[in-house]
A and B are shown apart, each in its own frame.
Chain A
Amino acid sequence: MDFATTPLAAMAGSAGLQTYVVIMLALVAVMTIMDVIHKKSAKYFFEDSKKAEAKVKAGIAAGSKNCSVGFEDGRYREVSGGEKMGAAVGVVLNEVAVSGEFDSTKPLRRFVHILTMYGTILLSAATIIIAFSGTGETVSLAWNLGALMLFVGSWWFWFVYKVDVMSEGNSWTDIDLRRDMFSLSLMAVSTTALGWSIWGGAVWEILAMLAGISLFGGVYWSKFAHMFFKPFAAYDKRIKKLSGALDNLPHETRFDKSGAVVAQQRDRHSMELLKDAPMNMGLGIKREGPNHY
């Protein structure tokens, strides 16, 4: 396999390839919009953020007044414009760039996800560049590398980290088209791209095109559309954390942010038994992964 060239080279800048790329992009856009309209998800986000804002206002006004056990003072606060910007940047740097939303106890799962995501991005971006501004060594390298990363990530995921395999105990041979359309499409795109790149030929070409159609054309039915609201969800989560809305989660802990014991909690009757307890108990049942069967 030659990383310096791609099977697309012959079509670089051609109208055919450009049309294909445009159609794929349009499919994603249209289907995502259809999904948003159909599900009224934008409306949901809007209403939800209004609700959270109202809760923060009320919370600030009430302080601990409505709270008869424990404390609420200082839980809620206004989030400044600067902080909102910061949150947005944080989302891009953390959740978007390095899949920071993944549970930190399973770093490999997160790695596989990053591999898949960057593979997809590299492969798609390189394709667009080749279609519109012609090919070259760098862009070809990116294309091949993207395909390879996606290949490794998507197949690894399929055999090991797919939750149906990991926690549901299904065999990896268990395929449900609706459930697995997205994962299978990713595997198909990367496999056919690599196959095409290595062996060339019309058969691989057609397969690669079809794989692309199933990935982008299936947006409405697969969970691809869902990808687009992940950053919004991550942003929403950050803002709620800053404002203290916190999805109604409890905020009281044994330690403050610096790791020091909170006297108010230590002296609480229920916490008597932890007065002189170690600071870190380690992990209990969370030591083990979610595959008990």
Chain B
Amino acid sequence: MGIKTIVEDNIDILVAGAGLGGTGTAYEARHWGRDKKIVIAEKANINRSGAVAQGLYAINCYMGTRWGENNPEDHVRYARIDLMGMVREDLLFDMARHVDSAVHKFEEWGLPLMRNEKTGAYQREGRWQIMIHGESYKPIVAEAATKNADKTYNRVMITHLLMDESGRNRVGGAIGFNVRTGNCHVFKSKTVVVGAGGASNIYKPRSVGEGAGRVWYAPWSSGSAYALMINAGAKMTQMENRIVLARFKDGYGPVGAYFLHLKTYTQNAYGEEYESKHFPALQKMVGKEYLDMEASHRTHRPIPTCLRNHAIIQEVAAGRGPIHMVTMHAFQDPHLEEVGWENFLGMTVGQAVLWAATDLDPKYQNPELTTSEPYVMGSHATGCGAWCSGPADVSPPEYQWGYNRMMSIEGLFGAGDAVGGTPHAFSSGSFTEGRISGKSACQYIDDGKAEGIVVSDSQIEKRKAEIFKPLETYQVGRNEIVAGTVSPSYLLPHPGLQRLQKIMDEYCGGVTVNYMTNDKLLNIGLQKLKIMEEDLEKVGAEDTHQLMRAWELKHRHRTSECVMQHTLFRKETRWPGYYYRGDAMKLDDKNWHCLTVSRRDPETGEYTLEKAPLYHLVGDMEDKALADMKKSEKKPAKKAAKAK
């Protein structure tokens, strides 16, 4: 085929995907491994790649122990209730105890963190969020990474991990291709840190034309992190835990600053508060432990995000939509108006464009809010990702097998969206996880765990043939037809993506079915995905750009399959508002107060699913106000007492 193969050998730490997680790894690994060979392979240009390409207006995870604001365990408790109990509390605690040290460094590097004029502390947006002028967030962390890496390969898309063939379940590097030159790139490495980000566009989006690009998570978040790990046979956790977001309609402008800082609120089309009327029925579905309006009202305890979505979905279904965000009061204050707009210009320009295009000035008109299509990612308010080992000083035995953030494959680490069970990490937490993985990878190598790795040429050749097959398929098949995109023997990536989105939407609880699914639908969906996998052998690519789209599609497909398997396994409705299992509409703590863990056998393609125990951090960590409230209750219910 005449495709050049470029081999980078003797790498110690390979960063596969350098977003917020991967940049953290490249930076930190240099501290612990002064003479280690650190190489970055990044699908786009590291200066503007990943979910933070357009910048951020907030750092959503900052404890503020420096100002006595929160302790790490407070954050764990918050994430726990927001995710209806289903989190890896060891990993969360670990992330939270380190995260501030990353943020303080960011400030030193020039990231503009706003300060509260009165207190001198960082300007809080909410309890966990601080406000920033983060247009250049990504260029800044990218420089920290490239300065400390030996080499940065931009525009190299990793398609597969390479595995050690010496008989151990161990990683040996990664392989991919350059999106520009079309060269094949082989990275032989002792460790790999996967930071390739979450998955957008696996569910049919609400806008299907040009507007399909204006998805909430970046359209280039192709689920690569998940597919790389699943295909290698790594164990995954909580993949059913997709996220649906209540966002400004069509533009998906973020609402955090609006709710928390601008103090805007929602109402239905008739100007009524609507949440409370849906909560009694919802409480019956999930139990008072998870939806305790009084506790939430009187303390810091949040109402879980999914349950608030549920209220929106119900209200709209009852014919009282659209839901509006009441901005008209807040925007009368010129400073808050400026914050409201800069919030979008700083991280979701498209929303500003939409308002300009529709002459909607939130000062005079309340914009619409809606619930999005589902997304699969593990650093926002959901915890999809790989099953990783926790820190030695915190984790129970079931959660710990050597190195912090190492997966069930030796030498394979992760950060950000790639790591399962750690929601609410966001940008700063993902960077922190990257740092933790960087240090662990160095320790793993220093302990001699990476000796004797064998990656044969035949493994490389096999992958190489696979990688470039879509180009060949197209070129040969193209002779069959006169012109156009319709061919009986190959499928182009875009129509392929639309098929995937339709399957996920209709069978796995997408937006057009109001997030509803059941065991029957899921089984049909899995069958359709199986057949689609056969068609993916016939995906065609006209050029290297389409070759990238082809591999993104394959990665999205694998991610979807895993999501579908997990959704089928967890026979309950754990997160109403994210999705519903029509055949099990209740939250079921008796059978499902556990984490779900899956593994796909790379040889057979079969999945095995199991339950993993949930450990919680308990002790002197509860919200004081909540504890007092519980105490003062006349006859505390048994369960409430447990929650203290």
Interface of A toward B, CB cutoff 8 Å: 68-69, 168-171, 269-270, 272-274, 281, 284-285, 292-293
Contact = CB atoms under 8 A, between A and B. Distances in A.
A269 B180 contact: no
A270 B47 contact: no
A69 B155 contact: no
Nearest to B342: A270
B338 A270 contact: yes
Contacts of B342: 270
B573 interface: no
A14 B48 CA distance: 61
Interface string B160-181: 0000000000000000001111
Given A284-B139, A285-B47, A293-B181, A169 B334 contact: no
14 contacts: A68-B337, A68-B361, A69-B334, A169-B155, A169-B178, A170-B180, A171-B181, A270-B338, A273-B115, A281-B110, A284-B136, A284-B139, A292-B47, A293-B178
A293 B155 contact: yes
Interface string B128-141: 00000100100100
A247 to B, nearest CB: 16
Nearest to A69: B338
Contact of B155 (A273, A281, A284, A292): A292
Contacts of A293: 154-155, 178-181
Interface string B534-553: 00000000000000000000
B45 interface: yes
B154 A273 contact: no
Contacts of B335: 269
A270 B133 contact: yes
A269 B112 CA distance: 13
Nearest to A274: B112
Name the prevailing secondary structure of the B interface residues: mixed
Interface in B100-143: 110, 112, 114-115, 133, 136, 139, 142-143
Interface string B554-576: 00000000000000000000000
A273 B122 CA distance: 12
A68 B181 contact: no
Give the 9 A-B residue pairs with the shortest CB-CB distance, closest first: A169-B180, A293-B155, A293-B180, A292-B154, A285-B47, A292-B45, A169-B181, A273-B112, A285-B139
Given A170-B181, A281-B110, 15 more contacts: A68-B361, A69-B338, A168-B180, A169-B178, A170-B180, A171-B181, A269-B335, A272-B115, A273-B112, A285-B142, A292-B47, A292-B155, A293-B154, A293-B155, A293-B181
A265 to B, nearest CB: 13
Contacts of B338: 69, 269-270
Interface in B343-365: 361, 363
A273 B342 CA distance: 15
Contact of A68 (B115, B133, B178, B363): B363
B341 interface: yes
A242 B363 CA distance: 33
Nearest to B45: A292
A285 B45 CA distance: 11
A269 B334 CA distance: 10
Nearest to A269: B335
Interface string B40-83: 00000111100000000000000000000000000000000000
A171 B334 CA distance: 54
A74 B335 CA distance: 23
A182 B189 CA distance: 46
Contacts of B341: 69
A170 B143 CA distance: 27
A38 to B, nearest CB: 23
Interface in B154-206: 154-155, 178-181
Interface in B592-616: none
Interface in B494-532: none
Contact of A273 (B114, B178, B180, B181): B114
Given A168-B180, A169-B155, A169-B178, A273 B334 contact: no
Chain B CB within 10 Å, residue with most, of A68, A170, A270, A292: A292
Contacts of A171: 181
A168 B180 CA distance: 6
A272 B269 CA distance: 39
Contacts of B45: 292
B6 to A, nearest CB: 12
A281 B337 CA distance: 28
Nearest to A290: B45
A254 B361 CA distance: 26
A273 B112 CA distance: 7
A164 to B, nearest CB: 10
Contacts of B48: 285
Contacts of A168: 180
Contact of A69 (B139, B179, B337): B337
A252 to B, nearest CB: 13
A272 B114 contact: yes
Contacts of A169: 155, 178, 180-181
Nearest to B153: A293
Nearest to A284: B139
